């Protein structure tokens, strides 16, 4: 399915806006609501103009009550609608966590499949915007750990359109994580709902020496690191996970069995972070192909820092290149690993 836009230069925010407009036009059961999504068009203007176009019955503002927003969406979905709700910032979604984990994720199982909840919960997440704590959390591991939820995150404008259209059409509840520092990234593309499946990873750069695995806001950083690594003799393959739950094991294992090395990059804290699950799965499935341990380049295990320090906190090209250098150590590995600070940088 093609959007209302032909091939053009579009931002991620614009692509998401177009996806919502196309979904609203295609299905009268789709409703969009949340804090300031109506008249204002959302904090990041992702819903700009939708209330004027589709009316206040289908795109509307809510009180500042995240648990109420998700609870209302659950009731709507039980009665045949397809709600798309916005949590204004990542950490603002925590008051709704009980509704998400206890009801949204479990109702289909609780009713033995009699009740499905085709709800999309949009959450702007991550740092890189000069924000402060409560505005820059990377909370993907909480949701991915919860059975019954799909968790997806786009890395580009075209994929943002595709993933959001597919998420709205999906019969399962979807946590849709939008990397806010990429809202204004641009690309020239024709926005289409087809392409990779909702739960399929994408190999965005082919390579032979190492597999760099990332998602959301850090994919662009990972591609920059792969280009820099080429100058040092590395031919890096880059995988955009796209879907965090379920995860596309086949694409990951096929790549790592070829390259023999892997680094997982994300901006959330490393301890019990999403990258730990990917590292464990690759160690289990690719043990005999690995030429070095699976490494992680992550945010530090601290509350999100002040804006002046976030550049040190977020994964960077230099930190990814440092991880690649560690993959080459082949003498006295134990001592070198202890000196390097352990499993993730």
Catalytic residues: 135
Secondary structure in 3-state letters for 224-273 = HHHHHHHCCCCCEEEEECCEEECCCHHHHHHHHHHHCCEEEEEEEECCCC
Angle at 324 between CA 323 and CA 330, to 5 degrees: 100
How many C-alpha atoms does 208 have within 13 Å on its Cβ side? 1
d(CA 52, CA 45): 13
In DSSP notation, 78-119 reads HTT-EEEEE-SSGGGGGGGHHHIIIIITTHHHHTTTS-----
d(CA 212, CA 238): 5
d(CA 262, CA 286): 10
d(CA 141, CA 298): 13
Q: Show the DSSP H helices in 118-171 as ranges.
A: 140-144, 157-169
CA 164 to each of CA 194, 217, 228: distance values in angstroms, whole numbers, following the listed order: 11, 16, 32
3-class secondary structure, 56: coil
> Treating both helix axes as pointing N-terminal to C-terminal, what angle do 333-340 and 317-326 enclose, rounded to 10 degrees?
160
Retrieve residue 132's tokens.
């402060």
3-class secondary structure, 18: helix
CA 91 to each of CA 95, 181, 184, 251: distance values in angstroms, whole numbers, following the listed order: 9, 16, 21, 31
Nearest to 144 by CA among 268, 312, 39, 25: 268
């Amino acid at each position: 399915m093609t959007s209302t836009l032909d091939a053009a230069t579009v931002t991620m925010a614009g692509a998401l806006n177009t996806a919502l407009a196309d979904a609203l036009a295609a299905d009268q059961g789709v409703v969009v609501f949340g804090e300031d999504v109506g008249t204002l068009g959302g904090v990041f203007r992702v819903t700009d103009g939708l209330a004027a176009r589709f009316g206040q019955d289908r795109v509307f503002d809510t009180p500042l009550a995240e648990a109420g927003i998700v609870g209302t969406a659950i009731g709507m979905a039980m009665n045949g609608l397809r709600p798309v709700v916005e949590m204004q910032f990542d950490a603002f979604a925590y008051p709704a966590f009980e509704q998400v984990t206890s009801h949204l994720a479990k109702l289909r199982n609780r009713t033995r499949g009699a009740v499905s909840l085709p709800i999309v919960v949009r959450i702007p997440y991550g740092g890189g915007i000069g924000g402060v704590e409560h505005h820059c959390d990377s909370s993907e591991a909480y949701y991915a750990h919860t059975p019954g939820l799909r968790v997806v995150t786009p890395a580009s404008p075209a994929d943002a359109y595709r993933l959001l259209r597919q998420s709205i059409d999906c019969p399962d509840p979807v946590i849709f994580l939008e990397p806010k520092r990429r809202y204004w990234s641009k690309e020239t593309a024709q926005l289409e709902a087809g392409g990779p499946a909702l739960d399929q990873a994408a190999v965005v750069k082919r390579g032979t020496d190492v597999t760099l695995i990332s998602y959301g806001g850090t994919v662009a950083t990972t591609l920059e690191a792969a280009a820099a690594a080429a100058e040092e003799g590395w031919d890096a393959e880059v995988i955009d996970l796209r879907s965090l739950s379920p995860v596309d094991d086949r694409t990951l294992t096929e790549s790592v069995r070829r390259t023999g090395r892997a680094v997982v990059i994300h901006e959330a804290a490393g301890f019990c972070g999403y990258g730990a699950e990917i590292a464990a799965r690759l160690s289990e499935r690719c043990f005999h192909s690995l030429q070095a341990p699976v490494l992680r380049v992550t945010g530090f295990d601290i509350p999100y820092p002040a804006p002046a320090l976030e550049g040190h906190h977020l994964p960077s090209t230099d930190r990814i290149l440092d991880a690649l250098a560690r993959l080459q150590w082949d003498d006295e590995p134990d001592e070198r690993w202890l000196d390097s600070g352990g499993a993730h940088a």
